[in-house]
Amino acid sequence: MTTTFPRLLLGHAQSLPDGAAMREKEYGIWQTTSWAGMADLVESLACGLHQAGLQRGEHLVVIGANRPRLYATMLAAQSLGAIPIPLYQDAVAAECVFPINNAEVRICVVEDQEQVDKMLEIREQCPQLSQIYYDDPRGLRNYNQPGLSAMATLIDAGRALAQAQPGLFREQVERGQADDVAAMFFTSGTTGNPKGVVHTHRSLINRASVGAAFDKLTPADEVLAYLPPAWIGQNIFSYAQWLAAGYVVNCPESASTVTIDLKEVGPTYYFAPPRVFEGLLTSVMIRMEDAGAVKRKMFQACMALARRVGPDRMDGKSIGLIDSIKYRLGDWLVYGPLRNNLGMSRVRVAYTAGEAIGPDLFSFYRSIGINLKQLYGSTETAVFVCLQPDNQARADTVGVPCEGVEIKLSETGEILVKSPGLLKGYYKNEAATAEVLTADGWYHTSDAGFIDANGHLKIIDRVKDVGRVKGGVHDGAMFAPKYVENKLKFFSYIKEAVAYGDQRERVCVMLNIDFDAVGNWAERRNLPYAGYTDLAQKPEVYELIRECVEKVNADLSRDELLAGSQISRFLVLHKELDADDGELTRTNKVRRGFIAEKYAVLVDALYAGKTEQHIETQVKFEDGRTGSVSATLKIADAKVFSPVKAAA
């Protein structure tokens, strides 16, 4: 695996010149780029960037959705020995300032007018940003800014240079080495400035190849690239593994057409965070509740069978002749049409990661014949640390260490990893690098967990977040906020949860309802509401959420370690937590500390025993304007249960 991404591209262009490399949906029609076509595009872009002055070792920023020409730009930069940095396309302009200045970026390639506007907005703060190239020219005809030009111009200039110097591109590619820096990914920056995670061709290609071999991926496989390319998970699935395995990457027309495009493409290899799987299932359940009585009864009967025998069948276990016949019938009547409706008729391997997935949600997908599994990794480990084998997929673990990975636990229970996929370091941050990488090559994940009897890794929480309840009946009991939050989010009615309890005598949570799921629930009960804030504070909704909270408490009471993490009090927030308001990271992780400061009055009210609390909060709208939303929030108590002693 001593190669580089540009060399992998040229290998596919030679062995499969006419094979589909990428497809992009434009104006409702799928446009295909072959491997040979991709190689030609990369050569033109590389020569254009070379002429524009991009140097070996220099950084180049790429901002946009999944687009073939943006992926080609990253390959072009790597062909010249430069380092692409994908940034989140939904980040506000101010969030781009630190990465661009930190990496001393002069050249930026963006998708469209929205991204051009952001770059022009921050130009004064980033004086070295001299050249901006855009892919989509719509809305940019009358823009007349120095250094701003179309990618088409760059390609034409590069094509002319490639004709004048035909050996230039290959000569640049051949200079590349496996241990050269291939890309840099900025972390979400939950505390302070984001850190630039530096990866080499060797680290990324090694992990991509190991993952591809594990799931037997081939050029015949298809994926849908719909998550942000700046997130290393999407980058591994639609870039590193694309080049390692040679499969086809499909780029949807827009975020709003992903569900339709998913059905049209019918991917064989699919990745989504739990919230996407939750959203798909919620939409199915909403439709089924609106269906006729006969359809509902048939669905319920078939799903009862699927829940009973489906997971065993997926794990390759015998389910008996009668159940096999019944399952085949159910597949014809319900499971097959359901997979088709979800766009997963052809899915051979599906993964989820990033957050814990609910056992019911996990078993639902496996019971209807979708091979859903979990993996464990991070930006710093090039994703693949643990993977679940096909016949060992479980909701409560994240799999077994994959090839080349060693795992050990520190005295504090922190998971330490040694792998060929580890980061080279954090850019310009030796102190942070020394904190996570030991001299003998072990990476500190900051996650707490353990290896179970079957060799599978179990994650409890972030080490720094695991705390202790102080005072009260559970004095000294372990408190794992993420574990509690995930258990709450397993319910379709709860979209987000933020738990507090460390060094306090009880656990309290703030919640977001899932507006679609709870809205549908309210409509079926003829419960009127005037938007999210109104619905969230309905007494009936509070009772619905209380049932969910108390079910979590009952479950926690059976866990000897975490019985003290039961929730005493809760409230439903008046607005949805939002990355634009700083409450979530761009990968939708809760910024618990920031939320505690922003909503300090609510946290105080929860612990002061109040039954309601007024709050006014500033919010940022999509068009950049700000406003405020205010409400008087109810605060409710929840029943806690005595710990259940395990049977001897």
User: Do 487 and 396 form a contact (C-beta atoms < 8 A)?
Assistant: no
**What confidence category does residue 1 fall into, taking pLDDT thresholds of 50, 70 and 90?**
very low
Q: In the prediction, which pLDDT does 2 show? A: 65
Give 569's strand partners.
508, 637
Q: What is the 3-state secondary structure (H, E, C) of 477-535?
A: CEECHHHHHHHHHCCCCEEEEEEECCCCCCEEEEEEECHHHHHHHHHHCCCCCCCHHHH
* Mean pLDDT (whole number) for 4-14: 97
Q: In the prediction, which pLDDT does 580 show? A: 84
Mean pLDDT rounded to a whole number for the chain:
91
C-alpha torsion angle, residues 122, 123, 128, 129 (rounded to 10) = 90
Residue 240 is given by DSSP the state I
Range of 190-204, 380-394, 470-484, 552-566 with top mean pLDDT: 380-394
Q: Which residues contact 102 (CB under 8 A, 6 or more apart)?
A: 193, 196, 427, 428
Any idea where the domains of the chain sit in the sequence? 7-271, 466-637
**Nearest CA-CA partner of 132 in 156, 108, 153:** 108
* Mean pLDDT (whole number) for 325-339: 93
Range of 100-109, 284-293, 445-454 with top mean pLDDT: 100-109
Q: Say what percent of the chain tops pLDDT 90.
A: 71
Give CA separation, 637 vs 151, 481, 503, 509, in Å: 58, 18, 20, 11
Which range among 93-97, 285-289, 314-318, 454-458 shows the weakest confidence by mean pLDDT? 285-289
Residue 290 has pLDDT above 90, yes or no: no
Structure tokens at 587: 């990968």
Residue 33 has pLDDT above 70, yes or no: yes
User: Do 200 and 178 form a contact (C-beta atoms < 8 A)?
Assistant: yes
The highest-level CATH class for domain 7-271 is alpha beta
The neighbour count for residue 192, using CB atoms within 10 Å, is: 7
Taking the C-alpha atoms of residue 52 and residue 55, their distance in angstroms, rounded to an integer, is 9
User: Do 102 and 196 form a contact (C-beta atoms < 8 A)?
Assistant: yes
**Nearest CA-CA partner of 592 in 464, 426, 439, 488:** 464
Q: In the prediction, which pLDDT does 189 show? A: 63
Residue 289 has pLDDT above 80, yes or no: no
Give the tens place of pLDDT for each residue, 423-450: 999 999 999 999 999 999 999 999 988 8
User: DSSP string of 279-315?
Assistant: HHHHHHHHHHHTS-HHHHHHHHHHHHHHHHHHHHHHT
Which range among 422-431, 491-500, 598-607, 616-625 shows the weakest confidence by mean pLDDT? 616-625
Residue 588 has pLDDT above 90, yes or no: no
Which range among 281-295, 479-493, 627-641 shows the weakest confidence by mean pLDDT? 281-295
Residue 515 has pLDDT above 60, yes or no: yes
Residue 648 has pLDDT above 50, yes or no: no
Taking the C-alpha atoms of residue 73 and residue 62, their distance in angstroms, rounded to an integer, is 8
**What confidence category does residue 622 fall into, taking pLDDT thresholds of 50, 70 and 90?**
low
Q: Which segments of 40-79 are extended strands (E)?
A: 59-63
Which one is predicted more confidently, 460 or 440?
440
* Mean pLDDT (whole number) for 71-95: 96
Give the tens place of pLDDT for each residue, 135-189: 999 999 999 999 999 999 999 999 999 999 999 999 999 999 999 999 999 987 6
Residue environment code for 401-427, b if the CB has 16+ CB neighbours within 10 A, otherwise e: bbeebebeeeeeebbbbbbbbbbbbbb
* Mean pLDDT (whole number) for 89-111: 95
Does the model's pTM come out above 0.75? Answer: yes
How far is residue 532 CA from its own chain's centroid?
Answer: 25
**What confidence category does residue 623 fall into, taking pLDDT thresholds of 50, 70 and 90?**
low
Q: Does domain 466-637 have CATH number 3.40.250.10?
A: no
Residue 333 has pLDDT above 80, yes or no: yes
In this structure, what are the phi and psi dihedrals at residue 518, rounded to the nearest 5 degrees? -70, -35
